Amino acid sequence: MALLNNLCQQIITVGLRGRDSLTLMPGINEVPDDAVESLKGHPSVASRIRDGKIVMIESVRQTADGKKTVEDMLAYIPKIYDTKLLKRIIKEDGRQPVVDAAKAQLDMIVSPKKNEGTEQNEHFK
């Protein structure tokens, strides 16, 4: 899976030929590797990449088991707003610092009022 950072404040849905449409939430999104080239060739996505509104995260360090490093995950999680992705990280990652960060981010999204007065995420300002 490839990572894309949608720096726009809106959700972008892209129709791709020969496959289902792809939705990019604000923040970091996981995209199937086989869809990346199609996205790069899509006119609206290509223009957003050129304008710096969508950033392809090319080089991601990985551990021996193929997971992204804890440091990278802790840097990326505050920029993930996709609740399905966060729930998958909580369920599958297994590294406690990563799971805790994903739970905190999910809680921030699901219960923003509960978290008033705490450190504010830039997306909710």
Q: Based on the domain organization, do 92 and 117 belong to the same domain?
A: yes
- pLDDT exceeds 80 at position 112: no
Q: How many domains does the chain have?
A: 2
Q: How far apart are CA 106 and CA 60, in angstroms?
A: 23
Query: Averaged over 96-111, what is the pLDDT?
Result: 92
Q: Based on the domain organization, do 68 and 122 belong to the same domain?
A: yes
Which positions ≥6 away from 28 have C-beta within 8 Å?
A: 3, 4, 5, 6, 57, 76, 79, 80
- pLDDT exceeds 90 at position 100: yes
Q: Based on the domain organization, do 38 and 70 belong to the same domain?
A: no
Q: Based on the domain organization, do 67 and 102 belong to the same domain?
A: yes
- pLDDT exceeds 90 at position 19: no
Range(s) of the domain holding residue 68: 61-125
pTM, two decimals, is 0.70
Read off the pLDDT of residues 56-91 as tens digits, 9 standing for 90 and up: 886 666 777 777 888 888 998 999 988 888 999 999
